[in-house]
């Protein structure tokens, strides 16, 4: 029986479709405005009873499961104090200061990494100023995904003397798919002095994150 | 901890002392040698060593210099 014909009996009861194999409810209509006696030109929703045939499943929308509502993950962290590195050594940047972290997925106390629990494509950005008082001629910023290099940005000048990169800022940006369970992103930096030694200093400040930040946002869910 | 050095530049200085013929170009070429620090409290370590003629320094060599 068309559902519209039994609506008067449903005023105070539930509408339950029979999910048995013999059901004929698939593609029945639920009228959203019961004043239309003609059952036409009215708002309605088509109910697809069989979840395996749901055309929206498999993409960013999953209609065959209980819907969830979460805020879109986004974060921005920065170096709260300058960080010293060894010459020519890739070193993780210790972002301890959280500016924002929707979802709370950034670890700013132990591993200094972003590990979101929602799968999808994320836009990541990092910027870092070199504050070394040595002659840095080669300066690199990297995204590491699960401990392996994923993206890099590099400023390298050859044939120079006293190639000081003091106050120079480099950026690395990328769109990276995260599986929402185990994947994580970290930022590493390396600087090389033409002197062949010396302490590298990365700029950090508790009240100035313009040149020492790591940020990201979910741009497209995949589950 | 074996292979790790927490003092800034301690590892790179030791490597240069062990292999005095190692050029800065090779030391700084991440295709050949990579030094890394994961901020896990252990310090700098040799992550990659693919030098064509110089062997990766042993712990004994690093300890001796």
CA distance A146 to chain B (A): 12
Residues A101 and A200 placed together within one structural domain of the fold? yes
Do A151 and A94 have their domain in common? yes
Domains of chain B are 10-64 (3.30.56)
Nearest to B18 by CA among B55, B43, B44: B55
A152: containing domain: 74-221
Among the partner residues B9, B16, B28, nearest to A138 by beta-carbon distance: B28
Statement to judge: residues A104 and A182 lie in one domain: yes
Residues of chain B in contact with residue A196, where contact means CB-CB under 8 angstroms, are 16, 24
- pLDDT at residue A47 in the model: 54
Tell me if B39 and A86 make a contact (CB, 8 A cut-off). no
> Do A53 and A79 fall into the same domain?
no
Contacts of A89 in chain B (CB under 8 A): 11-12, 35-37, 44
Query: pLDDT means per 10 residues in chain A (223 residues)?
Result: 51 52 55 55 54 57 68 95 96 98 96 96 98 92 98 90 86 98 98 88 95 96 86
* pLDDT of A212: 97
Name which of A129, A141, A155, A139 is nearest A193 in CA terms: A139
Whether residues A7 and A81 share a domain: the answer is no
Measured in angstroms, the CA of A134 and the nearest CA of chain B are apart by 13
Total number of domains in chain A: 2
Write the residue in B8, B24, B44 that is nearest to A199 by C-beta.
Answer: B8
pLDDT at A13: 45
Q: What is the mean pLDDT of chain B?
A: 94
Residue A199 lies in a domain: yes
Same domain membership, residue A112 and residue A204: yes
Same domain, A49 and A104: no
Asked if A112's CB is within 8 angstroms of B12's CB, the reply is no
With 0-12 / 13-18 / 19 or more C-beta atoms within 10 angstroms meaning exposed / middle / buried, residue B2 is exposed
**Confidence (pLDDT) at A196:** 80
Q: What is the pLDDT of residue A22?
A: 59
Angle subtended at Cα A153 by Cα A100 and Cα A176, rounded to the nearest 5 degrees: 55
The predicted pLDDT at position A70 comes to: 72
ipTM: 0.94
């Amino acid at each position: 029986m068309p559902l519209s014909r039994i609506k008067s009996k449903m005023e105070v009861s539930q509408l339950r479709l029979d999910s048995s194999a013999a059901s004929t409810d698939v593609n029945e209509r639920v009228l959203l405005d019961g004043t239309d006696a003609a059952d036409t030109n009215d708002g309605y929703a088509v109910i697809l009873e069989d979840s395996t045939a749901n055309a929206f499943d498999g993409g960013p929308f999953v209609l065959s499961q209980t819907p969830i509502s979460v805020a879109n993950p986004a974060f921005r962290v920065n170096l709260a104090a300058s960080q010293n590195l060894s010459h020519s050594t890739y070193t993780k940047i210790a972002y301890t200061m959280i500016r924002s972290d929707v979802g709370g997925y950034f670890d700013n106390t132990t591993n200094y990494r972003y590990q979101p629990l929602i799968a999808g494509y994320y836009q990541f950005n990092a910027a870092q100023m070199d504050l070394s008082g040595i002659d840095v001629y080669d300066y690199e910023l990297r995204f590491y995904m699960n401990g392996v290099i994923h993206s890099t940005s590099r400023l390298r000048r050859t044939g120079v003397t006293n190639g000081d990169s003091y106050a120079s800022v480099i950026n690395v940006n990328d769109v990276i798919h995260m599986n929402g369970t185990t994947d994580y992103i970290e930022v590493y930096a390396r600087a090389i002095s033409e002197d062949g030694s010396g302490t590298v200093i990365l700029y950090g400040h508790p009240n100035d994150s313009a040149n020492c930040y790591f940020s990201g946002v979910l741009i497209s869910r995949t589950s | 901890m074996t292979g790790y050095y927490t003092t800034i530049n301690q590892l790179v200085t030791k490597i240069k002392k062990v292999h005095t013929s190692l050029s800065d170009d090779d030391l700084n070429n991440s295709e050949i040698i990579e030094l890394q620090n994961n901020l896990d409290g252990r310090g700098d370590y040799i992550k990659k060593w693919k030098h064509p003629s110089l062997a990766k320094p042993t712990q004994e060599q690093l300890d001796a210099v």
